[in-house]
Amino acid sequence: MNEKHVIGFRHTKIITNDIDKSLKFYKDILGLEIIQDFYDDSDYINEITNINKGAAHFIKLKMLDGTVLELLEYPTHKTKPFDVEIINVGLPHIALQVEDINYTYDHLISHNTQVLSKPVLSSEGIEKILRIQ
């Protein structure tokens, strides 16, 4: 057996309470392509989540480079979103590479996306970033 167990990046998952709203953002505004859209209420879902009589709605979206973003909603087990500061331990984020960050910023604003910062040059001076909620 190979000593190096990790062989690559598979996908990023975002759990949402409103998969339609999330899909509108990632597909309609950012232009990702749907590659799978399905429901699962199998024993598998209940086993890996440790819930009873659960169901999951998955939508997998592909970016131009082949990277996959997975949206997931548990319609049978709704939870409330929580508001935490970006500096909290364990709080993940995803970083997407765009062709023109200024165009993307204007595009997001024109679609009423809550943008938390304008494009700012990183402290390393190698990229500009912006934050959205």
Q: What is the number of structural domains in the chain?
A: 2
> Model's pTM, two decimal places?
0.83
| Whether residue 65 is found in the same domain as residue 18 | yes
Q: Within the chain, which residues score under 50 in pLDDT?
A: none
| Whether residue 59 is found in the same domain as residue 25 | yes
Is residue 16 one of the residues assigned to a domain? Answer: yes
| Whether residue 45 is found in the same domain as residue 103 | no
In this prediction, residue 2 carries a pLDDT of: 60
Q: What are phi and psi of 30, to 5 degrees?
A: -90, -15
In this prediction, residue 128 carries a pLDDT of: 92
| Whether residue 64 is found in the same domain as residue 22 | yes
Pairing, β 12-15 against β 68-73: parallel
Interatomic CA distance for residues 17 and 30, integer angstroms: 20
Domain of 119, in residue numbers:
98-133
Is residue 42 one of the residues assigned to a domain? Answer: yes
* Cβ neighbours of 128 (radius 10 Å): 16
Write the pLDDT tens digit of every residue in 9-33: 888 999 999 999 999 999 999 999 9
| Whether residue 59 is found in the same domain as residue 103 | no
| Whether residue 67 is found in the same domain as residue 102 | no
In this prediction, residue 56 carries a pLDDT of: 94
